[in-house]
Amino acid sequence: MVGYFKVILSTSIVSVGAILGIGFQYDLFFIYWWTSCVLTVFVPLTLLTGFAALNMVLAKRRVGKILGYGLVVSGSCVVSLVVFEMTGSWIDRWKVEAVVSYVAHAVPVLDQVKQKEGSYPAKLPIDLLGEPPELLRYYGSYASAGSTFRFEYENEPAGWAGGGGSIVFDSEVRTWIDGQ
C-alpha cells in the first residue's frame, strides 16, 4: 500500500507540472527563469536526500522511510519542472507552426487578390483564408500599404531568445524576420 501512495504522489506532482505548463504558456521566459532557479535547489536537495535515505535504509533506521518520501517528493518535483518546461515549449512550437502554415497558405491568395484588384487588401480576407491562428488573431496583425503587406505577431519565447518578441513576415523579402 505504501508503494502505491508514493506512485500516486509522484504522478500527482508531475501532472501538476504539465498542467502548469499549459496554463502559463504565455509567460515562458519568466517561468523558465524561475524553473532554473528552483532546479538549482531541488537537484542538490534530491541528491542529498537520496544519499541520506540510502544510508538510513542501509542502517535500517526508521528515519529512512521519511527520507524516502522526501526523495520521492523532491525527485518528482524535478521531473515535474522538466515536464512543465517541455509542455509549454511544445504548445508554443505548435502555435508558431500554425502561424507559419497559415501565412504560407495566405501569401498566394493575397497575391491573387493583388493581381485582380491592383493592390493587396487592406483587411485580411477571412472568407478566402479562414480564421487566423491564435497568435495572429490575439497577439498579431495583418497590415497592407497597397503594394506590400505584412504579418506580425508577438511571441514571448522569441523575446526571451534575444529578439524583441515581434516576428514579422514582410511581402517584400518573403521570409520571416525578427522584428525587434
The answer to whether residues 147 and 127 belong to one domain is yes
For the chain, give the percent of residues with pLDDT over 90. 14
The answer to whether residues 37 and 66 belong to one domain is yes
| Dist. CA 121–CA 147, nearest whole Å | 9
- What total of structural domains would you count in the chain? 2
The pLDDT-based confidence of 158 (bands split at 50, 70, 90) is very low
User: Where among 64, 89, 114 does a domain terminate?
Assistant: 89
| Dist. CA 67–CA 69, nearest whole Å | 5
Cell representation of residue 162: 534575444
Q: What count of other Cβ atoms lies within 10 Å of the Cβ of residue 21?
A: 24
Where is average pLDDT lowest: 43-52, 77-86, 128-137?
43-52
The answer to whether residues 105 and 78 belong to one domain is no
The answer to whether residues 67 and 81 belong to one domain is yes
The answer to whether residues 37 and 115 belong to one domain is no
What is the per-residue pLDDT for 95? 85
| Dist. CA 48–CA 31, nearest whole Å | 25
Annotate 34-65 with b (16+ C-beta within 10 A) or e (fewer).
ebeeebeebeebbeebbebbeebeeeeeeebe
User: Where among 89, 111, 141 does a domain terminate?
Assistant: 89
The answer to whether residues 77 and 135 belong to one domain is no
More confident call, 96 vs 54: 96
Choose the most confident range, by mean pLDDT, from 6-10, 15-19, 44-48, 81-85. Answer: 81-85
Please list, in sequence order, all residues whose beta carbon lies within 8 angstroms of the beta carbon of residue 84, skipping any fewer than 6 positions away: 17, 18, 20, 21, 31, 35
| Dist. CA 169–CA 103, nearest whole Å | 8
- pTM of the shown model: 0.63
Q: Which amino acid is at 86?
A: M
Question: Closest Cα partner for 122 from 104, 99, 149?
Answer: 149
Cell representation of residue 128: 478566402
Query: Cβ(124)–Cβ(142) under 8 Å?
Result: yes
User: Where among 89, 113, 141 does a domain terminate?
Assistant: 89
The answer to whether residues 6 and 72 belong to one domain is yes
The CATH number of whichever domain residue 163 belongs to comes to: 3.30.1300
Give residue 152's domain range: 94-178
